[in-house]
């Protein structure tokens, strides 16, 4: 088990390999389709508008050496105005393949958490950065939420609760490395093996 504190140094990322288990500690940011599209269109491919500068600077600080989590949480607003994560399971990551490499490079991301894996462009970005893709346990949303010790802030709540960017502090957040900075992808290996077995069964 690798116990990592965010922000994560490059040497600790390079020490990870496919199959390693990881316990994350520190601040991570959730982001799904709307958040990734927003970052691409407002921060990466176009000049930052004055009204977005504060958020841009905050995300640069949080994501530098940091981790983004593909998650649409279930949250509860408390009487004092604070928020509590009720469920925090991963969402399917492949939808962000068109955005992820640019987000990784621009913000110096070190980790992407989700489920189902990502494609060759993200794998290449993980090698170049370096960074890793971390697989969270699907179907364990309530259990994972127990690792969320504090909701520090929320941005772009106008996107809706699942699509907003939640800034959370986690302790002992359990994940598994399934794409590493050395060009290895468990998802790619499983796909190739499954295809080979199917072809053998079909006599192709």
Set out the domains of the chain in order of their start, with CATH numbers.
2-202 (3.20.130.10)
**In terms of Cα–Cα distance, which of 9, 122, 110, 116 is closest to 66?**
110
- The model's confidence at residue 62, banded by pLDDT at 50, 70 and 90, is very high
17 is catalytic: no
The pLDDT, as a whole number, for residue 198 is: 46
CA distance 113 to 170: 13
DSSP 9: P
CA distance 25 to 31: 18
Q: Give the three-class secondary structure for 70.
A: coil
Q: What percent of the chain has pLDDT over 90?
A: 84
pLDDT tens across 5-26, in order? 999 999 999 999 999 999 999 9
Question: Is a pLDDT exceeding 80 seen at residue 138?
Answer: no
pLDDT tens across 68-78, in order? 999 999 999 99
Question: What is the crossing angle of helices 100-107 and 53-63, to 10°?
Answer: 80
Torsion angle (degrees, nearest 10) of CA 163, 66, 141, 114: 80
- The model's confidence at residue 143, banded by pLDDT at 50, 70 and 90, is confident
pLDDT tens across 158-198, in order? 999 999 999 999 999 999 999 999 999 997 644 555 454 54
Question: Is a pLDDT exceeding 90 seen at residue 49?
Answer: yes
State the average pLDDT over residues 100-121: 97
**In terms of Cα–Cα distance, which of 80, 74, 76, 72 is closest to 96?**
72
CA distance 137 to 101: 23
Tokens matching residue 45: 């491919």
Can you name the residues that pair with 26 across neighbouring β-strands? 170
State the average pLDDT over residues 52-58: 98
Catalytic residue among 36, 135, 155, 187: 36
Q: What percent of the chain has pLDDT over 70?
A: 90
State the average pLDDT over residues 94-123: 97
pTM greater than the 0.75 cutoff: yes
User: Taking all residues of the chain, what is their mean pLDDT, rounded to a whole number?
Assistant: 91
The pLDDT, as a whole number, for residue 145 is: 83
């Amino acid at each position: 088990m690798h116990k990592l504190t965010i922000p994560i140094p490059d040497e600790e990322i390079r020490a990870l390999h496919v199959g390693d288990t990881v316990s994350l500690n520190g601040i991570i940011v959730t982001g799904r389709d709307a958040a990734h599209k927003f970052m691409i269109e407002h921060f990466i491919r176009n000049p930052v508008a004055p009204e977005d500068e504060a958020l841009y600077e905050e995300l640069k600080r949080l994501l530098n050496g940091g981790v983004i989590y593909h998650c649409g949480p279930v949250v509860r607003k408390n009487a004092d105005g604070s928020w509590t994560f009720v469920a925090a399971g991963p969402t399917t990551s492949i939808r962000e393949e068109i955005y992820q490499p640019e987000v990784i490079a621009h913000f110096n991301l070190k980790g992407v958490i989700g489920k189902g894996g990502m494609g060759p462009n993200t794998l290449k970005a993980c090698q170049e950065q370096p960074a890793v893709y971390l697989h969270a346990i699907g179907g364990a949303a309530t259990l994972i939420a127990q690792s969320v010790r504090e909701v520090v802030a929320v941005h772009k709540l106008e996107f809706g609760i699942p699509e907003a960017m939640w800034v959370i502090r986690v302790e002992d957040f359990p994940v598994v490395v399934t794409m590493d900075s050395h060009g290895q992808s468990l998802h790619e290996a499983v796909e190739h093996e499954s295809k080979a077995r199917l072809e053998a069964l079909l006599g192709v």
